[in-house]
Amino acid sequence: MGRRGPKPEPASVKLAKGNSGRRPIGKEPATLIPEESKAVRPPVWLKAGKGLEVWNRLAPRIAAMKLLGAADAETFARYCRNFSRWLKMQERLDKVGEIYEIETASGKVRRADPSFLISDRLEKALIAAEANFGLNPAERQRIFAARAAAGASADLFSGASPAAAPTSPGAATPPDARGSAVGFLQ
């Protein structure tokens, strides 16, 4: 049985979406955080051609959103390679068509071209990978909406965060810096 609930997201994606629930966001290990000074390079097995063109077009955008680091290069290269294969299948389908007929003992039978089936499988894999890298419009819209919501409301009553509220020497201790609701109940 698989795991329940939505897939966990990396801390960089959570930070990009905003933290409207005020839950603590874990930190990614230093090796997984992309370095701004270095551009992520494609793996050597990603050959020159359409796959490398897709990499050169999309990698800078995704790295700028801090969703592509050195540890993600292999996965993103696989996406680029599958995208180039999908393009090849689409070109072939434009030439030969999606359906062909064969003659059997019971008459003519129409079948889907193998390139159509391959293209369909690749498209499903591409859709899954696009969601992981924030490449589809729905995921980008969620990120923008979460950023806007996080920036609009800081505190329920005053508009300032509880940690920034002034405290007098006789006042009760403020809740911890992580924003736990338990401190408000005491």
From CA 7, how far away is CA 161, in angstroms rounded? 30
Is there a domain that residue 163 lies in?
Answer: no
- DSSP reduced 3-state for 110: strand
Is there a domain that residue 88 lies in?
Answer: yes
Pairing of strands 107-112, 99-104: antiparallel
Segments forming the whole domain that contains residue 15: 11-22+29-144
Tens of pLDDT, residues 31-68 = 444 444 467 889 989 887 889 999 999 999 888 877 78
Strands, E assignment, the chain: 99-104, 107-112
Is there a domain that residue 168 lies in?
Answer: no
Tens of pLDDT, residues 124-166 = 988 888 877 778 777 777 766 665 666 644 443 444 444 444 4
